[in-house]
Amino acid sequence: MIPVAEPDIGEKEIEYVDDAVKSGWVSSHGKYIDEFEKEFSKFIGTEYGLTVSNGTAALHLALSALGITTGDEVIVPDLTFISPVNAVLYCNATPVLCDIDKNNWCIDPNKIRGLITDKTRAIIVVHLYGNSADMDQIMDIAKKHKLYVIEDTAESLGTTYKGKKLGSIGDIGCFSFYGNKTMTTGEGGFCTTNNKELYEKMTILRDHGMTSKKRYWHEFIGYNYRMTNLQAALGVAQLERINYFIARKHEIGKIYSERLKNMVTLHPEGIDYNGTYWLYSILMKNENERNDLMAFLYKNGIDTRRFFYPVHVMPPYKKYAKGEYLVSMDISKKGLNLPSGVKLQNGEIEYICSKIIEFLS
């Protein structure tokens, strides 16, 4: 079975993790934590950054540092993995669901404008499947209405928007290093920012709300959202190969686009951004065709994924719907993620494409 994604773990990863184990620093302190925080922030292009236990924790930590709380509203896309919506609810705030742009599958700035109220405090931008939202418009809206912008960059590590890496444009960038991401620490996440005050607040909240100046003195109600030195060791090694991972994602996307053109609706190509194809994704004519293709590919040893369900159709979140979500509904029903891991061989991509063409023929 050709998997949708799998990690690429090499000798350097094993060497660094082994070194961390032998050092005795296996919990949330150690040299790899410091190195990973320094080098990953540098790669993204922000002044500050801190490791966290996972991508959802990164989002919750960001919202908490911004002071999002009861009575506040946060605008989030209707088509997303559920983490950003849940993170808003963890803060006892209200998620306001927004439709997506059909051209990049990310939150639609034109729809954001109509959802802003006097309770709106922030916008969470989810850069879906390696694409980028229209950050210029979103930042202009945020500036006009004095809103915070959090970039959920879990699926778009390395994507650049007008020359800037995603995760460096909004107030806080949030990343996930789950096993299927472009680079991995097993579990794990990261927050990036250029705001020293936010960085310091997130650092305290991450460690139970304990001040660094006075041990066991807690100034806030915090969380245990720390990454381990073992995970950071894996991250340091992966980061040394990040440019290769991104280049390989581009190669995979180029092959799929060339082989499948005129057969399906291809993964979006941005004018203002250079996407990284976390999962190379296509749109079929309708939901039935998509489901039939998934079944056909599975029988031929190829694993795939359907797109996320629109948030507003799932039981816990129906009450947060505001109006219609025509684009997110349409894209969700037609969307299919193809195998996209960096270990994927060109011959395997050719085989996958040949089977899709066979099905459509």
Q: What is the pLDDT of residues 337-357, one digit of tens each?
A: 999 999 999 999 999 999 999
CB 26 within 8 A of CB 228: yes
How far apart CA 68 and CA 106 sit, in angstroms, is: 23
| pLDDT tens digit sequence for 159-169 | 999 999 999 99
CB 226 within 8 A of CB 52: yes
How far apart CA 325 and CA 348 sit, in angstroms, is: 36
Burial of 220 (0-12, 13-18, 19+ CB in 10 A): middle
pTM of the predicted model, to two decimals? 0.97
What single letter denotes the amino acid at residue 24?
G
How far apart CA 68 and CA 213 sit, in angstroms, is: 25
CB 3 within 8 A of CB 303: yes
Coarse DSSP helix, strand, coil percentages of the chain, rounded to the nearest 5 percent: 40, 15, 40
What single letter denotes the amino acid at residue 261?
K
Q: What pLDDT is stored for residue 170 in this prediction?
A: 98
* Torsion (CA) 347, 350, 351, 354 in degrees, nearest 10: -160
Q: What pLDDT is stored for residue 212 in this prediction?
A: 84
Phi, psi of 111, deg, nearest 5: -85, -25
CATH 3.90.1150.10 for domain 242-360: yes
Q: Which residue positions in the chain have pLDDT lower than 70?
A: none
Q: What angle do CA 337, 343, 345 make, to 5 degrees?
A: 85
Give me the count of residues in the chain: 361
Phi, psi of 285, deg, nearest 5: -70, -35
Phi, psi of 48, deg, nearest 5: -135, 155
Q: Which CATH number fits domain 11-239: 1.10.260.40, 3.40.50.1220, 3.40.50.720, 3.40.640.10?
A: 3.40.640.10
Burial of 111 (0-12, 13-18, 19+ CB in 10 A): buried
How far apart CA 67 and CA 106 sit, in angstroms, is: 25
Q: What pLDDT is stored for residue 194 in this prediction?
A: 98
Give the ranges where the chain is alpha helix by DSSP (H).
Answer: 11-23, 31-44, 55-65, 83-90, 109-113, 135-145, 196-206, 229-239, 242-260, 287-299, 326-334, 346-360
Q: What pLDDT is stored for residue 214 in this prediction?
A: 87
How far apart CA 168 and CA 161 sit, in angstroms, is: 10
How far apart CA 361 and CA 357 sit, in angstroms, is: 6
Domain ranges of the chain: 11-239, 242-360
Query: 């439709």: which residue's tokens?
Result: 99
The SS3 call for residue 60 is helix
